Amino acid sequence: MTTRVRFAPAPTGFLHVGSARSALFNWLYAESTGGEMILRIEDTDAALRKPEFIDAIVKPLTALGITWAEGPYYQSQRKQFHVDAVEQLVQSGHAYYCNLTRDAADALASDAGLPSGYHGWSRDKGIEDGPDCVVRFRTPDEGEIVIHDIIRGEVRFKNAELEDFVIRRSDGSPTFLVANAVDDADMGITHVIRGEDLLNTTPKVMLLWDALDLGDKPQYAHLPLLVNAQRKKLSKRRDDVSLMEFLSKGYLPEAMVNHLALLGWGPPDDKEIRPIGEIIELFKLENVNKGSAFFDVTKLDHINGEYIRALPVERFIELAEPFVYGVDTDIPWDAANYDPEVFAMVAPDVQQRVSTLAEIPHFIAWLFMDEVPYDLESKAWNKAMRKGKMTPEILDGILSAFGDVEWTGDAMNAAVGEVGDRLEARSQVPARVAITGTNAGIPLWDAAATIDREIVLQRLRAARALL
RNA sequence: GCCCCCAUCGUCCAGCGGCCUAGGACGCCUGCCUUUCACGCAGGUAACACGGGUUCGAAUCCCGUUGGGGGUGCCA
């Protein structure tokens, strides 16, 4: 039997990295077993039915290279099947109408000294359907339901502890629990792979499955949650988790996928950074961890840096475009000053110094700005310009040498070296700080030779004046 | 409160009863390379939560404790 998995997000705005990880693991499982994945949008709640939310799911998945064989299907478009299923459950006595609001049910519970929750108040009351009625599923009073989870092993729930949950809202719309069972059955889903936060809903779906007589159940696998530094489930509200945001900040899709694959799973040979094809080959659902994983951007930065350095330089230049032309980010220089040929020249040096594409402008800004800012409070300035008392003499020396030096990297370098030798001081770093504004960066002189002599002289004078 | 899940370096992953004086990666530190920084290279730091079992033998199996997390909606 070929495996069929589904990625079934609720359309609640941008896709976050946790959902992306779920999608990825479904996809990895499908790819590694020669099966297929379908995409299904779980929009049974009317509030979630917004077309822009669909784009927010499809675009990032596509960007990551996660593909699906069918869909997107919309649960909202399958509503009639779900309504029929609810009707069937009422008919067969598995479900009943209830006209209590949540507040009323809680009040009854507290009056009766029972723990909060719904205690089957409307069971067997012969309540007729009406405008304010919901339909609740009658959970068995005895017995237990056992999930054979591929990742977690056996998980047991006592039926008596499951309350009679709502399967149809008072507006007539069935809830996702019904839709889940019906759609998974109709779509021939063999494996349900999703976050651990849904583990508690699984017994309810299984109960519905049996009551509707839907046949063989899928196998379940509940993935460990992705958490923040406080070990809380990643949340859109408090954490920086938009997948698209990461991509537009200069993280490469391949690096993102590689990093995500490493959260909750690892290759048996300890080789972490590798092509997706190898990951598919090695991926085993049963080897996925149980413990939650911290989404560590520091590690992502490293992986992303590795991927960037591995790029052919032409590709690097291509990918850099939005960042050097200010399409998605601000650039610190006047756009008219930007020279793609200069960037192409220094690109290999930049490429091995950035961990995200967004860092590119930082390394080349001094090539396209008229003046560079000096941060007199910075460690760079203090270390290079203040500590050595020869600095004014060094800059004066360079200034006079640069008046008529041949304007090539080699000649400039040699001239600065001579100044240093003559004064018995290190002249390179002060020159770099004066010209670029900082003490760290790409090889200096060939790049500096692309700037007009007068601009370089101005910077040297400006820095000299601050000493 | 109740239900469920989890527990190896700060972080991610390896370990599936003897190969473990616990391995790799990120981070951090040191050194080498280098006219800066980075890359690269060579080292270092650092963990089996605790207590009981089971076993000739436990990071690995079982129970408990503690700690963390998830759920507890007419959201999914």
CA of A36 to C1' of B28 (A): 43
**Ordered alpha helix ranges (H), A325-386:** 340-351, 360-368, 379-381
CA of A272 to C1' of B45 (A): 22
What is the reported pLDDT for A50? 85
Please give the average per-residue pLDDT across A250-277, as a whole number: 97
**Nearest to residue A432, comparing CAs of A384, A371, A388?**
A384
CA of A442 to C1' of B38 (A): 8
On whether the CB atoms of residues A163 and A117 are closer than 8 A, the answer is: yes
What is the reported pLDDT for A25? 98
Over residues A162-195, the pLDDT tens digits come to 999 999 999 999 999 999 999 999 999 999 999 9
CA of A6 to C1' of B49 (A): 37
DSSP string spanning A44-81?
Answer: -SGGG--HHHHHHHHHHHHHHT---SEEEEEGGGGHHH
- Of all nucleotides, the one whose C1′ comes closest to residue A269's CA is B14
What is the reported pLDDT for A387? 66
- Of all nucleotides, the one whose C1′ comes closest to residue A416's CA is B35
What is the reported pLDDT for A424? 87
Q: What Cα–Cα distance (Å) separates residue A325 from each residue in A54, A56, A245, A317, A448?
A: 29, 25, 18, 12, 21
Q: Which of chain B's bases lie under 7 Å from a protein CB? A: 1-8, 10-16, 23-27, 35-40, 68-76
What is the reported pLDDT for A163? 95
Residue A411 is classified by DSSP as H
- Of all nucleotides, the one whose C1′ comes closest to residue A152's CA is B5
Highest mean pLDDT out of A20-34, A380-394, A409-423: A20-34
Strands A36-41 and A70-74 turn out to be parallel
What is the reported pLDDT for A388? 63
Query: C-alpha angle A250/A29/A271, rounded to 5°?
Result: 60
* pTM (whole model) above 0.80: yes
Q: Is the pLDDT of residue A120 over 80?
A: yes
Query: Where is average pLDDT lowest: A298-312, A367-381, A439-453?
Result: A367-381
Please give the average per-residue pLDDT across A310-320, as a whole number: 97
Please give the average per-residue pLDDT across A208-215, as a whole number: 97
Q: Is the pLDDT of residue A467 over 90?
A: no
Please give the average per-residue pLDDT across A304-330, as a whole number: 94
What is the reported pLDDT for A419? 94
Over residues A45-98, the pLDDT tens digits come to 888 888 888 999 999 999 999 999 998 999 999 999 999 999 999 999 999 999
- Of all nucleotides, the one whose C1′ comes closest to residue A133's CA is B74
Separation CA A153–CA A309 (nearest Å): 41
CB within 8 A of A374, min separation 6: which ones? A381, A433, A437, A462, A463, A466
The owner of tokens 């499982």 is A29
In this complex, the residue with its CA at the shortest distance from the C1' of nucleotide B72 is: A117
Q: Is the pLDDT of residue A386 over 80?
A: no
Separation CA A325–CA A329 (nearest Å): 8
Please give the average per-residue pLDDT across A94-106, as a whole number: 92
Q: Is the pLDDT of residue A384 over 90?
A: no
Question: How sure is the predictor about A255, in pLDDT bands with cuts at 50, 70 and 90?
Answer: very high
**Nearest to residue A301, comparing CAs of A232, A251, A353?**
A251
Question: How sure is the predictor about A453, in pLDDT bands with cuts at 50, 70 and 90?
Answer: very high
ipTM for the complex shown: 0.96
The owner of tokens 């049910």 is A105
CA of A298 to C1' of B69 (A): 23
CA of A195 to C1' of B71 (A): 12
